Chain A
Amino acid sequence: MVRVVFTANLERHLSCPEETVSGTTVREALEAVFETQQQLRGYILDDQSRLRQHMVIFVDGQTIVDRVNLSDSISPDSEIYVMQALSGG
Chain B
Amino acid sequence: MSSQVQIATRKGLFQLERNSDGWKIQRHDFPGENVSMVLHDPRDHTTYAALNHGHFGVKLHRSSDAGESWEECTVPVYPEGAKKAADPFTENAEPKPASLSEIWSLEPGGADQPNRLWCGTIPGGLFRSDDRGSSWQLVDSLWDLPERLKWFGGGKDDPGIHSICVHPENSQNVAVAISCGGVWVTEDDGMSWTCKAEGLRAEYMPPDLAHDPNIQDAHRMVQSPTQPDHFWIQHHNGVFKTTDGAQSWQEVTGIQPSVFGFAVAVHPQRPETAWFAPGVKDECRIPVDGRFVISRTTDGGSTSEVLSNGLPGEHSYDIVYRHALDIDETGECLAVGSTTGNFWITEDGGDSWQTISTSLPPIHCVRFVKS
> Which residues of A come within 8 Å of B, CB atoms?
9-10, 13-14, 39, 42-44, 46-48, 50, 52, 54-55, 84-85, 87
| B21 CB within 8 Å of chain A | no
Across the interface, B56 reaches (CB within 8 A) one of A43, A47, A48, namely A43
| B88 CB within 8 Å of chain A | no
Q: Is the CB of B55 within 8 A of A54?
A: yes
Q: Is the CB of A48 within 8 A of B99?
A: yes
Measured in the bound complex, the distance between the Cα atoms of B52 and A42 in whole Å is 12
Q: Is the CB of A43 within 8 A of B57?
A: yes
Q: Is the CB of B99 within 8 A of A47?
A: yes
Measured in the bound complex, the distance between the Cα atoms of B174 and A33 in whole Å is 41
B344 to chain A, nearest CB (A): 25
Q: Is the CB of B55 within 8 A of A46?
A: no
Q: Which residues of chain B have C-beta atoms less than 8 A from A87's C-beta?
A: 54
Q: Is the CB of B100 within 8 A of A47?
A: yes
| B270 CB within 8 Å of chain A | no
- In the assembled complex, 26 residue pairs joining A and B whose CB atoms fall closer than 8 Å, in A order, are A9-B55, A13-B56, A13-B59, A14-B72, A39-B72, A42-B59, A42-B75, A43-B53, A43-B56, A43-B57, A44-B56, A46-B57, A46-B99, A47-B75, A47-B78, A47-B99, A47-B100, A48-B78, A48-B97, A48-B99, A52-B57, A54-B54, A54-B55, A55-B55, A84-B56, A87-B54
Q: Is the CB of A52 within 8 A of B56?
A: yes
| B77 CB within 8 Å of chain A | yes
B171 to chain A, nearest CB (A): 28
Measured in the bound complex, the distance between the Cα atoms of B103 and A68 in whole Å is 23
Q: Which residues of chain A have C-beta atoms less than 8 A from B54's C-beta?
A: 54, 87
B10 to chain A, nearest CB (A): 9
Chain B positions 43 through 61: 1 when the CB is less than 8 Å from some CB of chain A, otherwise 0: 0000000000111110100
